[in-house]
Structure 1
């Protein structure tokens, strides 16, 4: 993908952080230099290279260089704590690790393999690039693994989704077929490249011949200013970032950045946030998406349909299928709720060195043998094939005899004017239904407004207004932190 982009637009800007900008030509040269340097360090095809760095241009060059030499790129979030580092490094078994002044000490404590400081390694890589070495000649097959993406979930330790070249390139192309990144786009990315949402922005920008802005280290206070300075046209968001942008836009007196498209994932955006974004950025499309790292993306609402079917998370990616199955694996008819199951060339082969966990989520079609991803998410399809997400298996519960989901209660809470973000804890072990909100409202006001929107059984017994909702490394509500908060108050 990088070779094709370089051949077509060598001098176009490929990626920029707050300090450095690289053209496609220079990124291409650096990727070869990284591959040469890795070969010199003894890295062979199939070896894992763990990288724990902030999102800067060096990290993008490392990504392309690692996969160019046939090795497996393993990006770790700079915020990952030492508690998880030991299990991740034991699971990945890297032959080489790259960190910086902040991450290297913790990495060295948890592995016996060489840990290189990027400031030193980069000096050697630049020297190789300036010599214009011969291209690295390694046969990389489509079935070979390109990356391991560690993701949190129901297990205590992070698990790694195996991402082969075939699935990664198919998913990238299918996503871009719907979103349509362009050569005049400037993609403003706030997310770490350890998260697949961030990593695929590298690939989508490459496919579109777009410029990628790595803005993860920018202060929240200058967010709109940086979007304006860089000319941002495409901005990936999650609800918390969307709410921040909408709030900043209300106070901003300058010309709005030229954003033409926001793409959302992680959780549904409240209608109030969508309205605020549309008001602040005239003509913008706010695109709903749904997916899991295990197949990257499941559905996208076409940008030109962003004002239609407002409860839908879009239609399946081109070349893929979505099935709705009951507990016995029987396909359900239109409109009925069951487990969302994805099939197609984007389904990854499983989790790294976790055969039992893989067998539970990645199962063959009982008739054709085709691999299918059982997501653990529930939803339905309409007659036109558009998907409606209703919640995860853990989100669904019964209270007072009525089946409900935390997702619908959170959506109702975020519909209340003044509520920026919401998270719901279902009843458990004597704890009743509880809603946490970021808002400038009294708890009683939130509950009163929820009573106008929900059936009585679905109105939480307790509302907690807090300054900021805790999030996981992947931008989702950190429910365990909320549970700990409640239990701490009860002591």
Structure 2
């Protein structure tokens, strides 16, 4: 039984050495080949003075070499830090300073950018060794050692990293696998960035099953239906926005993809028209909505097609874990009552990297029992059978286009735009999209254009209003309630 994340690969290579492990546009590796490639990467890192506990930061697109580097870093005892290629310089500089990587791997022009932003040596992806390179013995790694730093915006204005120990990641991989039932004969199509934990864990789930992972580029999805047919895909993880695109592509393609047996979804609410559309376009496919947060990876999984009996539910807690709904005093509420969603179990991660203050706020330890309760900041209710229904948030965190984000994060980026003196973001509400207000000496269209240089597309507000000053509350804070109460007015719109 695996105790370390890289044990998953070791075991799969022993069970199914000749089976295809991972495939991208440039070819495929068997489990034996992936195993050797990971060992070669581990030796390559050690030769460059990466030691146990050091951070290895990877800003790469989805590919086979990414998978080899991931397992190689883990086998070297390093902490792997995946960073999205869509992250702009504004945030990337802060991630580099916070993670303090010992080594960075990037592609093309990104190597120059990352060299500018830090002191760690930056290597191009092309420098990674091939699978036949010499390797050494593996270093000892403990189950409680950190495996990953997963950067997420969360409740602060800057990205923060969730510390992921091997033990917690292995546990949650097994718990998700138990609920979803990935099989050795499955072909899993992943079109979600590996920098997003939903995409990254497709590697672990697929390897744990000894299945085949088909890796798709995330900057263009026009070829998804070709991949799906060519490789007889059986499992397709999506976020709602990707599912909507898949439906459009399927209608254009005109062929039924009867091999798909399971769609999973997380990241935002999975609405009924999209679910119904997937069932119509992919006969025989079942749907498994899920709910999670990087701080514990996955919280609930609804049994496949469970939405037919329990519409809008995101499922039950993973086996061996507990989901609570708490009142404002932290006391458990009865079924049907709405409160803050909290989580306990071996999947709760180790807190935030170098951030004891917010760790203490979100990861609360019972002084008597030592039990850690993760307070998610999300609100919802449980039914009598333990199925969870998520109803939203009370703070400024929200999800848009499947991406979790924070009003503080977007406001901080807006304040980095020259000429912007104050910024306030109204999160999506009542069916309306988010709206940015700024006090600035430049036109709204310019503000949005410069903001697009600092944020991923999903985080760029569609609308911006420029004011001479923003209204303040008596204690000097921006009065967002006053902004929200104002009647709609003409405003600049972004191209995002």
Q: Provide closer, same or farther for how the CA distance between residues 189 and 138 of structure 1 changes in structure 2, counting only shifts above 3 A.
A: same
For the 8 Å contact 1:186–1:212, the answer to whether it is kept is yes
Q: Which residue of 2 aligns with 1:389?
A: 390
For the 8 Å contact 1:15–1:212, the answer to whether it is kept is yes
Q: Which residue of 2 aligns with 1:108?
A: 115
> Which of 464, 467, 476 does residue 484 from structure 1 map onto?
464
TM-score normalized with structure 1 length: 0.81
Q: Which residue of 2 aligns with 1:186?
A: 187
Provide structure 2 residue ranges, at least 5 long, that are not aligned to the other structure.
Answer: 1-7, 408-423, 434-451, 468-488
For the 8 Å contact 1:227–1:257, the answer to whether it is kept is no
CA distance in 2, matches of 1:273, 1:10: 38
1:297-346, Cα deviation, whole Å (9 max, x unpaired):
00000115342201211000011000111111111111100000000000
User: SS of the counterpart of 1:172?
Assistant: helix
How much has 1:277 moved relative to structure 2? 0.5
Q: Which residue of 1 aligns with 2:21?
A: 14
User: SS of the counterpart of 2:264?
Assistant: strand
1:381-437, Cα deviation, whole Å (9 max, x unpaired):
1111111110122379xxxxxxxxx99xx9xxx9xxxxxxxx9x9xx9999966347
Q: Which residue of 1 aligns with 2:440?
A: none
Q: Which residue of 1 aligns with 2:66?
A: 59
CA distance in 1, matches of 2:97, 2:392: 33
Q: Which has the higher contact order (CA 8 A, sep 6+)?
A: 2
- Is the aligned partner of 1:118 residue 2:125? yes
User: SS of the counterpart of 1:327?
Assistant: coil
> Which of 129, 132, 139 does residue 130 from structure 1 map onto?
132
CA distance in 2, matches of 1:432, 1:273: 20
> Which of 427, 431, 435 does residue 435 from structure 1 map onto?
431
For the 8 Å contact 1:77–1:473, the answer to whether it is kept is no
- Is the aligned partner of 1:324 residue 2:325? yes
For the 8 Å contact 1:16–1:214, the answer to whether it is kept is yes
User: SS of the counterpart of 2:431?
Assistant: strand
CA distance in 1, matches of 2:219, 2:376: 34
CA distance in 2, matches of 1:430, 1:148: 30
Q: Which residue of 2 aligns with 1:35?
A: 42
For the 8 Å contact 1:231–1:258, the answer to whether it is kept is yes
For the 8 Å contact 1:264–1:287, the answer to whether it is kept is yes
CA distance in 2, matches of 1:373, 1:310: 26
Q: Which residue of 2 aligns with 1:248?
A: 249
CA distance in 1, matches of 2:72, 2:270: 36
Equivalent pairs counted in the alignment come to 427
For the 8 Å contact 2:105–2:122, the answer to whether it is kept is yes
How much has 1:490 moved relative to structure 2? 3.6
1:191-270 pair list within 5 angstroms: 191-217=192-218, 219-256=220-257, 258-270=259-271
For the 8 Å contact 1:224–1:257, the answer to whether it is kept is no
Q: Which residue of 2 aligns with 1:364?
A: 365
Q: Which residue of 2 aligns with 1:88?
A: 95
> Which of 69, 82, 96 does residue 75 from structure 1 map onto?
82
How much has 1:153 moved relative to structure 2? 2.3
User: SS of the counterpart of 1:28?
Assistant: helix
Q: Provide closer, same or farther for how the CA distance between residues 483 and 163 of structure 1 changes in structure 2, counting only shifts above 3 A.
A: farther
Q: Which residue of 1 aligns with 2:54?
A: 47
User: SS of the counterpart of 1:205?
Assistant: helix
User: SS of the counterpart of 1:353?
Assistant: coil
CA distance in 1, matches of 2:98, 2:83: 13
Greater helix share, structure number: 1
Provide structure 1 residue ranges, at least 5 long, that are not aligned to the other structure.
Answer: 397-405, 415-422, 438-469
CA distance in 2, matches of 1:27, 1:432: 43
For the 8 Å contact 2:262–2:286, the answer to whether it is kept is yes
Q: Provide closer, same or farther for how the CA distance between residues 12 and 80 of structure 1 changes in structure 2, counting only shifts above 3 A.
A: same
CA distance in 1, matches of 2:282, 2:456: 26
User: SS of the counterpart of 1:74?
Assistant: strand
1:164-198, Cα deviation, whole Å (9 max, x unpaired):
00000001000000001001111111111111011
CA distance in 2, matches of 1:75, 1:108: 17
Q: Which residue of 2 aligns with 1:338?
A: 339
Q: Which residue of 2 aligns with 1:281?
A: 282
Q: Which residue of 2 aligns with 1:445?
A: none
TM-score normalized with structure 2 length: 0.81
CA distance in 1, matches of 2:146, 2:345: 18
